[in-house]
Structure 1
Amino acid sequence: MKKQIFWAVLIASVCCCIAIALFEPACARRFSGNDIGRIR
């Protein structure tokens, strides 16, 4: 049982890291292009 929980947590954290790595550049580009320019 403990191994299953360990692997579930490991896979979930890896998926989170991949999602952040994929979405972060797009978000940074979008915000730096539009919103930060508007705020300043």
Structure 2
Amino acid sequence: MEAIHSKKFSLKQIFKDHWSSFIKSHKTLVTWYIAYNVWK
């Protein structure tokens, strides 16, 4: 596993950057509650 020390990443930023591709691939796994928390 490679560690990245130059930048700090958060799950919120990762989802924000890749949300559209994630939702296309995992549409049935995403509940309204998850979607609401990512979009807010």
Task: Pick the structure with greater CA Rg.
Answer: 1
TM bucket, shorter chain: under 0.3
Higher relative contact order (CA 8 A, sep 6+): 2
**TM-score, normalised by the number of residues in structure 2:** 0.27
Q: Which has the higher helix share?
A: 1
**TM-score, normalised by the number of residues in structure 1:** 0.27
